[in-house]
Amino acid sequence: MKGSKVLWSGFVCLLWVACSGPNSASVAVRDAWVREPPGGHPIAAAYMTLTNESDRASALVGAEASAAERVEMHSMTHEGGTMRMRQIERIELPVGQDVQLQSGGLHLMLMGMDDPPRAGDQVELTLRFADGTEQTLRAPVRRGL
């Protein structure tokens, strides 16, 4: 009887550790929002501030959105008098620093939206991080600012 209690306690502890492994709480997400696409266009941009609150460098490596067929991470650069947008594989999140996803810089592109959201709607976003964790949030849709 005593052995089965020890075995059961050990199992419960292992289950707790497995279920409470790393979580995305080490990355704080603030001020997330999605720009309303003009004229019902099937592409929109999402912006936010990410803060790595852990003691290790991290990265945003992917995202999904409830309203979009796919989400890509993009950067904007100014080259020879022209703004250029490029898809990127990851957004580095240095320890203790804010990383701004904003118009004219790093941002998420929500693509292939059959029913583009309107100002006042909310879009569910799931962010995937390099350590395998995910964070799901609801971002309000606003008109361009």
Q: What is the pLDDT of residues 18-61, one digit of tens each?
A: 444 444 459 999 999 999 998 889 999 999 999 999 999 999 99
Tokens matching residue 38: 């003009």
Q: Is 126 exposed, middle or buried (0-12, 13-18, 19+ CB in 10 A)?
A: middle
Q: What total number of domains does the chain contain?
A: 1
Q: Is residue 14 part of a domain?
A: no
Q: Which residue has the higher pLDDT, 77 or 93?
A: 93
Contact 90, 59 (CB under 8 A): yes
Contact 53, 96 (CB under 8 A): yes
- CA 46/CA 36 separation, integer angstroms: 9
Residue bearing tokens 């497995």: 18
Q: pLDDT grade, residue 105 (50/70/90)?
A: very high
Q: Is residue 1 part of a domain?
A: no
Q: Which residue has the higher pLDDT, 7 or 129?
A: 129
Domain with 27, as residue range(s), is 23-142
For the question of whether the overall pTM of this predicted structure is more than 0.85, the answer is no
